[in-house]
Chain A
Amino acid sequence: MLSQDSLRSYEARCTQESPPACRRYCPFDLDGRSLMRLVAQGDIAAARTLLLRHLPLPHLLSQICDHPCEEACLRRDYGGSLAIRDMARFCLAYPVPEKRTLPLPPKRHAMAILGSGLTALTAAWDLAGKNYPVTLFAEGNVDDLLKSHPLWQSQDVRDALAKDLAKLLQKQIEVRPLAAKPDLAELSSAFDAILIDAYALGDRLTLPGASDIDQETLLWHDSICVAGWLSTSPTGHSYLLPSQAASQGRIAAQSMERLAQGLSLTAERKKDQAPLHTDPGKVALAARIEPSAATYSLEEAQAEAKRCLDCQCLRCVRACSYLQQYQGYPRLYARQIHNNATIVKGLHQANALINGCTLCGQCAELCPEHFSMADLCLAAREDMVAAKRMPARAHEFALEDMQNACENAVFLPDQDVSKPSWVFFPGCQLAAERPSQVLELYDILRTQLNGGPLPGVALAITCCGMPAHWAGQKALFSKHMERLRAHLEELGRPKLMTACASCLAAFTEALPDYPLCSVWEVLDTLDISALQSSAKARSDLPKTFSLHDPCTASHNPAWQKAVRSLIQKTGASFCEPEHSGTTTSCCGYGGLVACAQPDTADGLARQRIAELTEPALASCIICRDRFARLGKACWHILDLLLPKEGMSGECLGSGLSEHRTRRAKLRREVLARMGKEEGYPEEGIALAISPELLDDLERRHILRNDLTEAVAFAEAHQTYFLNSENGHRLGSFRPRNVTFWVEYSLDEHGFVLHAAWCHRMIVPGSGGRPANEVIDEQQALQKDAANVGGAQ
């Protein structure tokens, strides 16, 4: 199970919740992005509340701040940074009713602030705002504060300061005259914490320089903080940087609170958060809007606010419709997946999230921090399987298909070479969909390789076990792989070449020390002149293809290179889609999503199809069939190398039921080459099913064989219902964890299927067994479970 530590490490990798650049560079943590969003929406009152929550001396700072936020704004290179300071000034001047705030309970710790510079006033603002009794030791009276600083010379600035001071003086604050030589010992005994404004008191006290003080706390000694030094330019010129001076006031105020309360000065103070990764992408230029008067009009402010790029990371989310489906981003998903494993009672609501990931790894490639939803979801699936919490519905059907491929497995040694150098592993999906091309390719490989230095090509047709790996069935996957390893060792450990990227990925995962490559790499080194230039001569092929890399080959540059080289050799031309190579997108089959969540899988396929501007060309048969099924013309690379009459990119795949028939047929053909004969399975009853109905039923995991079995059972045992209105019969059969229902009729040619459905729930009196028998069995099981539960 995902530990708290690894959860945090996952969360830290996703920066979507990190502050945007403007907020990160603001010493007062003001989120310019939210400010702009609120102004653009016309909610100026909320924008103002946001400003007042973050800015000390808001009127003054909105006049004099040197706005480091604007320096950091990503709009800077696209028409100029957002006018965040001008926007703050607009919001503060905009006539909205002042919100009444509830007074905070008075604090008892007495705070002394020596000086009246910007640092001192900021600290006073923050402390008085929290209702600490603050004593401000200043030169002259309050009115003199307005005149005592060189920055306060302009009338606008003086007016702004006057507004802030008026507000400040409503709080628990007392202004006392500053002594010529303040007695720090005496002050220390009278106050819980003291701040000395270095700018204002530098000539009265011997104070440490900025470099002598820890800038994180600004503590000088005991309970005395010093802050407010002038900044120095590279040429040695001293100047007051308002953002820095005010920021030091805020830091000092926080330290004074901690000093007064006897808390740690450093604990939980530094925010260790990675910066928000923002890729502005293609941004249209839009010039900064300057206010036509002293401040913006509402229209001007809204127009300016709408220039905000609304910085987000979401690189992975934008590319993946699965990540969009749950309206979040990986950081949130990691938390949901963690919670899913730890809840004791209630629904495991993240099961769908966990089983909806294709494990393609595109997110990790697009993410600057390499956050991998694939790693997270696969580990969660393995945990669910181990804890017996994985819903059987999710992957049972795919695992049954794997079982079928294994039952039809066949290993053909090279007929001429006793110890083959190679074994060709086409993959169970390609073998089921294109059996004749597979055998043709095998013969080409043998002809070409047997004359060379590495002769002998065996043929292995079976499943690689990837469905078990994707389903989180670790034990099943490793058992299957061990069996395959034993077969390969028996053949003399020949180099394995696969035509399926998933098989190659499965072997790389489970047998990392076994010699592996793709069949495309081998073909690329052979003389295939007979196949070359054939594509150019063909009028049935598109001028240009959009090349789609299978996601399981995204980390296999050799596969990608060989496929491109072979296509070029056939004379066909192709272009690369936006996501290609390492960042290629999944067709929706990966991670068994097409089985667990067909709608999610189709969403992913449609998103990918939208990126493929030309007719597509794939080197994976599953991708090809899925695209073609959704109306996107897609060719397989074998259609260029070994064209078949009538085969085009528009042709639909043969379907899951037909795959099973073809696998059995291919096995018989291969066995015949070995001189072995295998009897044909008994012919089932003839049941006519329209292709559209079968396609719809296969999508719901009901195969032709299930349907014929159900009809045969109902007919053999006369256990069906009869519709007296139209003569339709309705039978049911439960061969495994699913009850299949078939509504059919009988005509002169045989049975005709009208509808079918299935359910997993056990309904006594259906599925072919007597009701009482099922009820007794289920009640006994429940009793046993209750006894086990009680004993525990």
Chain B
Amino acid sequence: MTMAPNYAPDEGSWLCAHCKEPLQQLKVPVFYLGSAFDVLLPRCPKCGMTFVPKSLAEGKMLEVETLLEDK
């Protein structure tokens, strides 16, 4: 059981085109300006390719980026 925030795709049923695997919510560390956070994102369980939903990129992620830049 992880406490990391969890972000699923905004819509649709996505699979990795290369591995033909459906995506799973898996933990991945994200990095910015010397900080690192664990986040649960849709990933290909085989090749590790990671999906960043639009709502996350333009919402929470932008917020955290700005916060770290002003630190």
A785 contacts B65, C-beta separation under 8 Å: no
Number of contacting residues on A, CB 8 A?
A: 42
Residue of A at shortest CB range from B26?
A: A765
B62 contacts A721, C-beta separation under 8 Å: no
A764 contacts B50, C-beta separation under 8 Å: yes
A732 contacts B36, C-beta separation under 8 Å: no
- Chain A hits for B58, CB < 8 A: 757
A761 contacts B32, C-beta separation under 8 Å: yes
Name the one of A393, A764, A770 contacting B66, with C-beta atoms under 8 angstroms: A393
Question: Could you tell me the distance between the alpha carbons of A730 and B13 in the complex, rounded to whole angstroms?
Answer: 12
A718 contacts B67, C-beta separation under 8 Å: no
A724-B36 CB under 8 A given contacts A347-B70, A739-B52: no
- Which residues of A pack against B, CB within 8 Å? 346-349, 351, 391-393, 718-726, 728-730, 732, 739, 741, 743, 755, 757-766, 770-772, 775, 778, 782, 785
Question: Could you tell me the distance between the alpha carbons of A347 and B71 in the complex, rounded to whole angstroms?
Answer: 5
A757 contacts B54, C-beta separation under 8 Å: yes
Question: Could you tell me the distance between the alpha carbons of A720 and B14 in the complex, rounded to whole angstroms?
Answer: 10
A765 contacts B70, C-beta separation under 8 Å: no
B36 contacts A771, C-beta separation under 8 Å: no
- Chain A hits for B15, CB < 8 A: 721-722, 724
Interface residues of B in 16-58 (CB under 8 A from A): 16-18, 23, 28-32, 34, 36, 41, 43-44, 48-52, 54, 57-58
- Chain B hits for A723, CB < 8 A: 12-14
User: Which label, helix, strand, loop or mixed, suits the secondary structure of the B interface?
Assistant: mixed
A771 contacts B48, C-beta separation under 8 Å: yes
Name the one of A347, A392, A743, A757 contacting B67, with C-beta atoms under 8 angstroms: A347
Name the one of B14, B62, B65 contacting A722, with C-beta atoms under 8 angstroms: B14
- Chain B hits for A348, CB < 8 A: 70-71
Question: Could you tell me the distance between the alpha carbons of A791 and B23 in the complex, rounded to whole angstroms?
Answer: 43
A718-B18 CB under 8 A given contacts A741-B54, A759-B57: yes
Contact sample, A vs B, 17 pairs, CB 8 Å cutoff: A347-B70, A349-B70, A393-B69, A720-B17, A721-B51, A725-B12, A726-B12, A757-B54, A761-B32, A762-B30, A764-B28, A765-B49, A765-B50, A766-B49, A771-B50, A782-B31, A785-B34
A729 contacts B17, C-beta separation under 8 Å: yes
B17 contacts A393, C-beta separation under 8 Å: no
Looking at the assembled complex, report how far the CB atom of A394 sits from the nearest CB atom of chain B, in whole angstroms.
Answer: 8
Question: Could you tell me the distance between the alpha carbons of A351 and B69 in the complex, rounded to whole angstroms?
Answer: 9
B51 contacts A730, C-beta separation under 8 Å: yes
- Chain B hits for A771, CB < 8 A: 28, 48-50
Q: B4 within 8 Å of A by Cβ?
A: no
Name the one of A391, A724, A763 contacting B50, with C-beta atoms under 8 angstroms: A763
- Chain B hits for A757, CB < 8 A: 52, 54, 57-58
B65 contacts A759, C-beta separation under 8 Å: yes
- Which residues of B pack against A, CB within 8 Å? 12-18, 23, 28-32, 34, 36, 41, 43-44, 48-52, 54, 57-58, 61-62, 64-67, 69-71
What 10 A-B pairs come out closest when comparing CB atoms?
Answer: A765-B50, A391-B69, A723-B12, A771-B48, A759-B57, A762-B31, A778-B31, A722-B17, A761-B32, A721-B14
Question: Could you tell me the distance between the alpha carbons of A725 and B22 in the complex, rounded to whole angstroms?
Answer: 13
- Chain A hits for B32, CB < 8 A: 760-762
Looking at the assembled complex, report how far the CB atom of B69 sits from the nearest CB atom of chain A, in whole angstroms.
Answer: 4
Question: Could you tell me the distance between the alpha carbons of A723 and B54 in the complex, rounded to whole angstroms?
Answer: 15
Residue of A at shortest CB range from B37?
A: A761
Looking at the assembled complex, report how far the CB atom of B50 sits from the nearest CB atom of chain A, in whole angstroms.
Answer: 3
Question: Could you tell me the distance between the alpha carbons of A15 and B43 in the complex, rounded to whole angstroms?
Answer: 59
A770-B48 CB under 8 A given contacts A391-B70, A762-B31: yes
Looking at the assembled complex, report how far the CB atom of A472 sits from the nearest CB atom of chain B, in whole angstroms.
Answer: 15
- Chain B hits for A785, CB < 8 A: 34
Question: Could you tell me the distance between the alpha carbons of A391 and B32 in the complex, rounded to whole angstroms?
Answer: 12
Question: Could you tell me the distance between the alpha carbons of A772 and B50 in the complex, rounded to whole angstroms?
Answer: 12
B18 contacts A719, C-beta separation under 8 Å: yes
Question: Could you tell me the distance between the alpha carbons of A720 and B36 in the complex, rounded to whole angstroms?
Answer: 25
Looking at the assembled complex, report how far the CB atom of A183 sits from the nearest CB atom of chain B, in whole angstroms.
Answer: 71
Residue of A at shortest CB range from B39?
A: A763
Looking at the assembled complex, report how far the CB atom of A792 sits from the nearest CB atom of chain B, in whole angstroms.
Answer: 14
B48 contacts A721, C-beta separation under 8 Å: no
- Chain A hits for B14, CB < 8 A: 721-724, 730
Question: Could you tell me the distance between the alpha carbons of A763 and B56 in the complex, rounded to whole angstroms?
Answer: 12
Looking at the assembled complex, report how far the CB atom of A600 sits from the nearest CB atom of chain B, in whole angstroms.
Answer: 15
Residue of B at shortest CB range from A726?
A: B12
Question: Could you tell me the distance between the alpha carbons of A498 and B43 in the complex, rounded to whole angstroms?
Answer: 54
Looking at the assembled complex, report how far the CB atom of B15 sits from the nearest CB atom of chain A, in whole angstroms.
Answer: 6
- Chain A hits for B61, CB < 8 A: 759, 761
Residue of A at shortest CB range from B50?
A: A765
Name the one of A729, A732, A782 contacting B52, with C-beta atoms under 8 angstroms: A732
A718 contacts B17, C-beta separation under 8 Å: yes
B50 contacts A761, C-beta separation under 8 Å: no
Residue of A at shortest CB range from B55?
A: A757
Question: Could you tell me the distance between the alpha carbons of A728 and B36 in the complex, rounded to whole angstroms?
Answer: 31
A763 contacts B28, C-beta separation under 8 Å: yes
Question: Could you tell me the distance between the alpha carbons of A349 and B67 in the complex, rounded to whole angstroms?
Answer: 10
A761-B17 CB under 8 A given contacts A347-B70, A732-B52, A785-B34: no
A763 contacts B52, C-beta separation under 8 Å: yes
Question: Could you tell me the distance between the alpha carbons of A762 and B57 in the complex, rounded to whole angstroms?
Answer: 11
